[in-house]
Structure 1
């Protein structure tokens, strides 16, 4: 990627799950139920994006009940699981909202995310994202997946768009 692109125009921010919203570990119970561990700082960052008028979407290649519950808990209705072609999913989502790709951002961590990351107006990855992905995004978080990387990117978007200071100031009143 040439010069990093800014998230100033982002109106819809999409996120991968495993390795981004979680640390990428896959945990299963003896009954085969998948367990995911999410970070509360990340969750509040997603809520702050929504409060600033930025729609949050989750586009994941895997499906899980835990993710359904987490998305519902965060008020995220744009949840797409079991998606093989994330870029096509994003394009359909943008088309339904009358938005261009330049108004979209995405955070992914592995090479399978590169088609959607390269299609967006802003692309990010956690610090522990695949090394090839880190070379092709606009922003590499200092934090790792499932450990605050999502919150860091949310704060970066909010700061770039001029919302972060006012949102944080509310907590000092």
Structure 2
């Protein structure tokens, strides 16, 4: 009997995202720079950013693996305080294997969120394979769960919510987050800090 997506989600300790089409809507804006070279810009969803804070409060470790190299992504990843940042990865599986070793986890404790065929090698082996609503058909058919929202419109948050809900910590983590934002709670040092 195969495990349900919820059963798989209960084991997850690390969640890794592809970037283009997952944390963004997949559009890449190239703005001409003064030197004649293009400056790349992407749009990221605030819902995903807050979701990453919730993931950390829930004890999940978070990272990205992307085929492209982008300064925009480096800035956003730093902004989100991501633990695992792999850019310029043509063979994403080797990056995943490094993360598994660094995190000291088994492959079935890693969730990956992808949208296109370059993500398939990881999606086929990881513990919880998640496709975004906008993912290619080949990707959706290889995944255990598909997010209600497309990339760049909250798919990352959907993935995190799904895992935390399965682990029974979503409501607690939300309250913890709200408490940490409360100045009175901060003064009383009830907030978790470490964001």
TM-score of the superposed pair, with normalisation by structure 2: 0.84
Gap regions ≥5 residues in structure 2: 183-195
Deviation at 1:4, TM superposition (A): 4.3
Q: 2:53 aligns with which of 30, 47, 54?
A: 47
Change beyond 3 A, Cα 1:17–1:88: same
| Ranges in structure 1 where 5+ consecutive residues have no aligned partner | none
Determine if contact 2:68/2:87 at 8 Å carries over to the other structure: yes
**Cα deviations by residue, 1:1-27 (Å, 9 ceiling, x for unpaired):** x65442111111100000000000011
TM-score w.r.t. length of structure 1 = 0.94
What's the Cα RMSD here? 1.5
Residue 112 of structure 1 and its aligned partner are, at CA, apart by 1.2
- Provide the residue aligned with 1:157 in structure 2: 163
1:32-85 deviation per Cα after TM superposition (whole angstroms, max 9, x unaligned)? 011011000011101111121111010000111111111111111311000011
Per-residue deviation, 1:121? 0.2
Matching residue of 2:91:
85
Question: What residue number does 1:57 align with?
Answer: 63
Query: CA 1:121 to 1:70, structure 2 compared with 1: closer, same or farther past 3 Å?
Result: same
Superposition pairs for residues 2-151 of structure 1, below 5 Å? 4-5=4-5, 6-31=8-33, 32-151=38-157
Q: How many residues align?
A: 172
**After TM superposition, what 4+ stretches of structure 1 lie above 6 angstroms from structure 2?**
none
